[in-house]
Amino acid sequence: MARKQAQAASHMMAISSALPATAEASPLHAAFEPRQFFYNINWRSTSYHAGATLTTHHGNGSDFAGFSSLLACPDPRRIDIRASVRTVPRQWLVRTYLERAAIRVHAIVDVSSSMFFQGQAHLRQQVTEFVSSLAWSAIRQGDAFGMRAANDSPQASLQVLPSFQPGTAQAVARQMTHYWQQAADTRQGQGASAVPAALEAIGPQRSLVFLISDFYWPEALMTQTLKAAQPHDVIPVVLRDQMATEGLPAFGWARLRDMETGEERSWMLRRSLHRQIATHARQQAQALNAQFLKAGTRPPLWLHPGWRAEEVSRHLMETMA
């Protein structure tokens, strides 16, 4: 039994590790390969669409809610004789159940210029993969999937209204691939200032929000975004390219240009500067984690190139707040 499981696991690993190789071969035209991961919700849905999440309203579910009088809830099939016998004065009691309903899962994608950074990881490919896998997983779980993207302005071409439609995942993958190919003019000088607006646009109904970005954001935008994300269950998904801070050339003088602000900086790369940069990057990551913790989101999911659905599932299960 255990051996069988191990075999299955190694098989899955082989599949997932084979993925980045195919992705590198043709980064933008990779065929859609769904990866399903699972998430748990610890809050109750308020919708009425049949789904997997507990709601607060009573109905034909399997989750026991309590007893109520037959007169209040006239369903003779659910009469609980043992409970009725214990009542003083006698009356008929009926077991009531909670309904399960769907939730909305939203992907808020930051498509600012920094996401176009071409390093060792292919960020755009990663985003496409993750978002389509998320759509796939959400719809497989019976939840609605919606998407909004923004740089300095909301991107209408990447907008997906919440829907239960099967095939949304494929559509999203196609849409994103198309977008990355088209978006040549936003490779420079686009920030992510419309992200809070995109968050507000998904409405006040509590939903599961995957905030996908590299979070190289100014402080003000960060605060604003976290404030706008307050009504929702937010899972920050951090995509950062290692090449930006770690895989630096060993020695040499280079001029760098910030893709969003256009700021120029010269770096005489050498051992001491490498150390300094690594320290700063570490501090940045810590500060980011602390910020999310303070804002009450779930702990951020650091998505590395070649991520596996199991890891994402585990993270989502573990961090169910």
Partner 1 sequence: MWSEATQPWLLASGYGEHWGLTQGWPLILLPLAILPWVLHGQMNFPHPALQGLPEDALSAWLDRLWKIALSLLILSLALALTGPYLKSSYVEKVGRGAHVMIVLDRSASMNEPFVKKGDAQAREPKMKVARNVLKTLVAQGHDDLMGMVTFSTSPILAAPLGNDRGYVQAALDATEAGGMGFTAVARGLGMALDYFADQPVTGARAMVLVSDGGAHLDGKTQDMLRAMFMRQQASLYWIYLRSESGVSLKQSLAEGENIDAYPEYALHEYFQTLNVPYRVYEAENPEAVMAAVRDISKLKNKPTRYLEPVSRQDLSQYAYALAWLASVLLLALYGLELKRWQA
Q: Which residues are near partner 1 by CB under 8 A?
A: 114-115, 117-118, 214, 216, 218, 240-241, 243-245, 247-250, 252-261, 263-269, 273, 276-277, 280-281, 283-284
Q: Going by C-beta distance under 8 Å and a sequence separation of 6 or more, which residues neighbour residue 276?
A: none
CB of 53 to partner 1, least distance (A): 36
CB of 191 to partner 1, least distance (A): 11
- Which CB, 29 or 255, lies closer to partner 1? 255
CB of 220 to partner 1, least distance (A): 12
- Which CB, 18 or 243, lies closer to partner 1? 243
- Which CB, 39 or 292, lies closer to partner 1? 292
CB of 253 to partner 1, least distance (A): 4
- Which CB, 54 or 121, lies closer to partner 1? 121
CB of 245 to partner 1, least distance (A): 7
Q: Is 240 helix (H, G, I), strand (E, B) or coil?
A: coil
**Cα Rg of the chain (Å, integer):** 24
Burial class (CB in 10 A: 0-12, 13-18, 19+), 60: exposed
- Which CB, 20 or 119, lies closer to partner 1? 119
- Which CB, 34 or 119, lies closer to partner 1? 119
Both tokens of 88, joined, read 């003083």
CB of 291 to partner 1, least distance (A): 13
Q: Going by C-beta distance under 8 Å and a sequence separation of 6 or more, which residues neighbour residue 184?
A: none
- Which CB, 21 or 263, lies closer to partner 1? 263
- Which CB, 18 or 268, lies closer to partner 1? 268
For tokens 């995109």, name the residue.
198
- What's the CA gap between 144 and 130, in Å, rounded? 16
Q: Which of 133, 265, 116, 266 is nearest to 210 (CA)?
A: 133
Residue 107 in contact with residue 145, Cβ under 8 Å? Answer: yes
Q: Is 313 helix (H, G, I), strand (E, B) or coil?
A: helix
Residue 127 in contact with residue 179, Cβ under 8 Å? Answer: no
Q: Is 203 helix (H, G, I), strand (E, B) or coil?
A: coil
- What's the CA gap between 274 and 290, in Å, rounded? 24
Q: Is 33 helix (H, G, I), strand (E, B) or coil?
A: coil
Residue 131 in contact with residue 139, Cβ under 8 Å? Answer: no
CB of 12 to partner 1, least distance (A): 31
Residue 101 in contact with residue 164, Cβ under 8 Å? Answer: no
CB of 193 to partner 1, least distance (A): 14
